Each structure stands twice: as structure tokens, then as C-alpha cells.
Amino acid sequence: MKSAPWWKEATIYQIYPRSFVDSNGDGEGDLVGITANLEYVQQLGVDAIWLSPFYTSPNKDGGYDVADPRDVDPRFGNLADAKKLIDRAHELGLRVIADIVPNHFSDQHHWFQAALKAGRGSAERARFHFYDANPDGTPPNNWISLFGGPSWSQVEDGQYYLHLFDSSQPDLNWENPEVNADFEKTLHFWINLGVDGFRIDVAHGLVKEDVLKNHPDPQGLSNALRLDVAMDAQARNALLLTVPYFDRQGVHEIYRKWRKIFDSYTDRQIMAVAEAWVHPPVNATRYVRADELHQVFNFDLLTAEFDALVLYDVIDRSIELNATVNALPTWALSNHDSPRVASRIGSEQARALALFVFGLPGSTYIFAGQELGLPDGELEDSDRQDPSFFRTKGKVKGRDGARVPLPWGGDSTPFGFTTGKPWLPISQSWQEFTVENENQNPKSSLHLYKNALSLRQMHLTGQGGIEWIESPQHGSKSNALLIYKRGDITVLMNVSDIAQECDVDGKLLVVSSGVVDPHNGKKVIPARSCAWFIA
């Protein structure tokens, strides 16, 4: 019998290289540091790592501003270090997913530098979106960058170039065959070095339409696209249907070509996961049609309240939508772009939700430090480095809080992350979260993650879909429990602040916090907690 592809129900650990382990005392994590600590990752029980960018970069956007996509930034090491990392991961049975950033390059990429020199109308400028100013000198249209401010910057001769993100990240023109060819070369390059897959940055953004047209409500659109701006859901959804630079049909042609490249490797299964924030949600399924990519991130749990109805709707919809294209969903509670889940919903809630999600079909992404229950780091404005902080003149605090380096051990900050000064300060209060401390504490989040991931591996992989045993009712105020069954396992989550009695058979396997007591022949599930039972 053919076994299921490795990525179908994998657990994937996201490493932000700058924040994992620093091996040379310069205050920033590096590839040698990662390689030296891969055993820790393996012992967590995950199947793969996803490495955020470590390519040559001026680091204006944490490495998502790539100046050479086929080389390693000296801050992180060199290509030989990358090869050693990949080989060591494979020795330990871990797959490696690299990040690829096709929407834009850094302005330091030699193509952009050549475009500046070559001038208007040149083949060099045609690799980007360069246009003349309007007659009154204003930019070609009124779009607003996702990091704030105009999405156009002007060069010396008066032309403007488009950048959906920072001005140091010029968008590439995917109608240009040279752009296609260069990225295909990059894919082959990393596959030949040994990677097993790709996470595709801004996968929905490559193709633009109406580049010379104004949007009727650019500020509204910009707010709608930002998760930290509160907005009426209907208004947001209406605006999200009008984005002229995301989710255009043309992107799918690109991924069909890429899929052929991935499938041309027969020595191993190469996979790709799309970062595609699209609306309406059904559009996400297009990225995972049989001849396109393998997975698409589901970001709903990054923002969902710890509420039975909200969680049920998100989970049920994601499973159903993916099923329409014969794909399995993905789950993520945290990543380098959003507040850490323990800070967002509370630490007990975060443990419960992780355990609940680990039981579900599909793949789960775990952001390094999530297994420790890390909160967001508390930072002074003077520590911040996120371009969105600068481009909004401090109005948006940005994503640095989630990127504070990991605490490994010892009694004082920086807790073994570096022998130098960490690039973001690590609070002394993080002593309780060090790997060393949590390893010694059977009640720690780290123990819960290890235990749950091994139980998932043992009892749930390949077990098919779930059956909801208790799902919340719309309009009811007493929605406390979510219960599903998968294979022999029943998973119960009590989202309320009061312990709940449940009728459940079987033996307790794991509980996210507190103790499950028997009462009147029933089981009492603690407040804000999740438990697995086996029949």
C-alpha cells in the first residue's frame, strides 16, 4: 500500500532564525545555532521545520526583503552551514521547508540596482512595476502599503515603483518571463541543496490588476487588511472583495507550473504551502487544487476568540472547504506576524486550544516558543525594528513582540540564547519559560506539547475525519463545550470559566491543565481546559 505523503498530517515547527539560537555571540540567531539544537526540535515530536528567510538581506523586514535568494546572509552563516543544517535535520528524521519570497525583492537586489541605473523604459525596469508620475507629480495610483504610507516610492528620474510592503521591497512584475525563470531557478537551487518544501510568502500577491487605477477607498481597504484594526465584519468583508493586488486568477497559473517542478523530483515528495490571506474563504481552496500547491495556511485561529461558537465555525468551515478540493486543512495558533497565542487568549486557553487542534485532521504549524507557552515580549519603542512601526510613525506597534528570542536556560537573561546582547531584549521574567526549567517541570507547556504530539502520532495520524459530538448552538448563551471524536479518541474542550460535567467513556490520555475528576459517573472537565479520552 502507498503510504500517505509526509506533509498530509504533519506537525511543522516554524523557526525564525534570528530568534532561535545565536552561536557566535553577535546577538542574532544563526544557522549553526539551529543545527546544534535540532535534537530539541526532534524530541518535541514534530515532523518538519519551516525556516523563515535566512537569505542575503539588508534586513529591513526581518529577511523578507531578499537581496539574493540563492545565498545565505553572513549574519546567519553561509551555504555550507545551510547544507549542514538540512543534512542534520534529515539525519534526525526532520523534513525542511524553506521560505520563498516571490512577491518582491529587496531594493539591494542587483536587479533593482540595475533598474535604477538603466532608467525609464528599460528591460531592467520591466522586471518591477515602474511607472511615470501623474501630471501633477503624484504616484500612479492611490494604493496604501500594507505597512502604512503610500505603496509607491519615487526614484531620481521621477518614475515611481510599486511596493505593497516597505519601500525597500519593490514588487516584482510577474508578467515578465525573466521573473518566472529566476524563481524557477531558485526552487531548483534549494531542492538540489536538499529542502523538502517551500512556504510561499504573499502567495496571493504576485499578479496585480488595474495598476494604474485608483481604489475608491484606499484607507478603508488598508484598514480592512490589517488584523489589528477593529472594523464591522460586513464592512470589512465588502472591502476585502475589492483588493486589486491579491488573489487574481493569474497566480494559479504560476503555481501550476511550480507544481510540475515539484513533481519532477522523484527521489522525495516536495511540498509547498501558500501564505494566502484571501476573501471569501472559499477562494483559499483554489490554491490547493490537485494540480497546484499542497497546503494553504488557515489564519483564522490566529484571531479567533476563545469562544465555542467562533472556534466551531472556523474549524468546521475549514475542514469542509478543504474537502471540496480533496485537501486537508492546516492549523496555526501563532506565527512571526501575529501576537503570540498565550498573550492573545491567555495561557491556559492557549494550552487547551493547542491540544484541541492537535487532534484535528490536517497539518499543524507550531511557532518556535509556542511550545513553551511564551507570551509576547514587552518592548520599548526604542527596541522596535518592524517596518510597520516606522511607516505608521509608531501608530502600529508591529510584530517584534512575537519575535523576541527564545529563552533556553540559566538564571539570567538572555538565558543562553546568546553570549552577547540579544537583538531584542529578553525579560528576566522569562526564567519560568526556559527550556531548562520546563524540561524539569512535568506540568509545563513543553511537557504538554511533547506528550500531545506523541499521542497524536500514536493514535490519530491517518484516522480520517472528525465527528462532532457536541457543537455549540447559534443564539445560545451556554456554549461551554466542544467535543469531537476521531478514531478511538474523544477530544473535549471546556471554553468556559466553570468546570463542566461530561458524559464520556474511556480512559483519560491527557488534559491541558487541571485535573479531570469523576463525579456522578461523569467526568468533570476543568475550566479553560481540553482533554483526550481513549475508548
Catalytic residues: 201, 275
Q: Is the dihedral of CA 394, 397, 400, 404 positive or negative?
A: positive
Closest contact distance (angstroms) between CB of 47 and ligand NOJ is 21
Q: Which of 20, 50, 64, 287 binds ligand NOJ (CB under 6 A)?
A: 64
Give the nearer residue to ligand NOJ in terms of CB position, either 363 or 500.
Answer: 363
Minimum CB separation from ligand NOJ for residue 490, in Å?
A: 36
Q: Give the list of residues 6+ apart from residue 442 with CB closer than 8 angstroms, or none.
A: none
What is the closest distance, in whole angstroms, from the C-beta atom of residue 481 to ligand NOJ in the complex? Answer: 34
Shorter beta-carbon distance to ligand NOJ: residue 97 or 202: 202
d(CA 317, CA 7): 21
Among 418, 501, 451, 454, which residue's Cα sits nearest to residue 32? Answer: 418
HEC profile of 27-62: CCCCHHHHHHCHHHHHHHCCCEEEECCCEECCCCCC
CB-count exposure of residue 487 (10 Å: 0-12, 13-18, 19+) = middle
- Which of positions 72-101 make contact with ligand NOJ (CB under 6 A)? 101
Comparing CB distances to ligand NOJ, the nearer of 89 and 202 is 202
Cβ closer to ligand NOJ: 64 or 331? 64
Segment near ligand NOJ (CB under 6 A); pick from 56-64, 410-418, 457-465, 482-490: 56-64
Only segment of 59-67, 86-94, 279-287, 506-514 that touches ligand NOJ (CB under 6 A)? 59-67
Q: According to the binding rule CB under 6 A, does residue 201 interact with ligand NOJ?
A: yes
What does residue 433 show for φ and ψ, rounded to 5 degrees?
-100, 5
Which span (58-66, 122-130, 307-315, 404-412) binds ligand NOJ, by CB under 6 A? 58-66
Which CB, 202 or 274, lies closer to ligand NOJ?
Answer: 202
On whether the CB atoms of residues 517 and 524 are closer than 8 A, the answer is yes
Closer CB to ligand NOJ, residue 201 or residue 470?
A: 201
The residue assigned the cell 519532477 is 264
- Closest alpha carbon to 371 in 338, 399, 333: 333
One-character DSSP codes across 166-211: -TTSPBB-TTSHHHHHHHHHHHHHHHHHT--EEEETTTT-S----T
Determine contact, residues 240/164, Cβ cutoff 8 Å: no
Distance CA(356)–CA(362), nearest Å, equals 13
* Contact between residue 493 and residue 470 where contact means Cβ atoms under 8 Å apart: no
**Which residue of the chain is nearest ligand NOJ when measured via CB?**
64
Burial group, residue 397, by CB count within 10 angstroms (0-12, 13-18, 19+): middle
186 Cβ contact partners less than 8 Å away, ≥ 6 residues apart: 69, 70, 100
| Interface segment toward ligand NOJ; rule CB under 6 A; list 60-68, 114-122, 190-198, 257-265 | 60-68
Of 30, 73, 292, 337, which lies in the binding site for ligand NOJ, with binding defined by CB under 6 A?
Answer: 337
- From the list 340, 423, 406, the residue with the least C-alpha distance to 20 is 406
Binding to ligand NOJ by CB under 6 A, coded x per residue (else -) over 155-194, reads ----------x-----------------------------
Minimum CB distance to ligand NOJ, residue 146 (Å): 8
Exactly one of 28, 61, 348, 376 binds ligand NOJ (CB under 6 A); that residue is 61
Helix or strand run (H / E) with residue 385: none
DSSP structural state of residue 150: B
Nearest-approach distance from CB 310 to ligand NOJ, in angstroms: 24
| Other CB atoms within 10 A of residue 486 CB | 18
51 contacts ligand NOJ (rule: CB under 6 A): no
Provide, rounded to whole angstroms, the least separation between the CB of residue 69 and ligand NOJ: 13
144 is a site residue for ligand NOJ (CB under 6 A): no
State which H helix or E strand residue 441 sits in. Answer: none
Choose the stretch contacting ligand NOJ; rule: CB under 6 A; options: 57-65, 286-294, 406-414, 522-530. Answer: 57-65
CB 37 within 8 A of CB 416: no
If the CB atoms of residues 48 and 101 are measured against ligand NOJ, the closer one turns out to be 101
Among 41, 172, 202, 516, binds ligand NOJ (CB under 6 A): 202
Cβ atoms 153, 160 nearer than 8 A: yes
- Measured from the CB atom, is 247 or 470 closer to ligand NOJ? 247
d(CA 486, CA 433): 32
Distance between CA atoms of 354 and 348, rounded to whole angstroms? 10
Provide, rounded to whole angstroms, the least separation between the CB of residue 64 and ligand NOJ.
3
**Binding-site string for ligand NOJ from residue 253 to residue 282, where x marks contact by CB under 6 A and - marks none:** ----------------------x-------
Only segment of 39-47, 61-69, 295-303, 519-527 that touches ligand NOJ (CB under 6 A): 61-69
Q: What is the smallest separation between the CB atom of 207 and ligand NOJ, expressed in angstroms?
A: 16
Interface residue list for ligand NOJ (CB under 6 A): 61-62, 64, 101, 165, 201-202, 275, 336-337
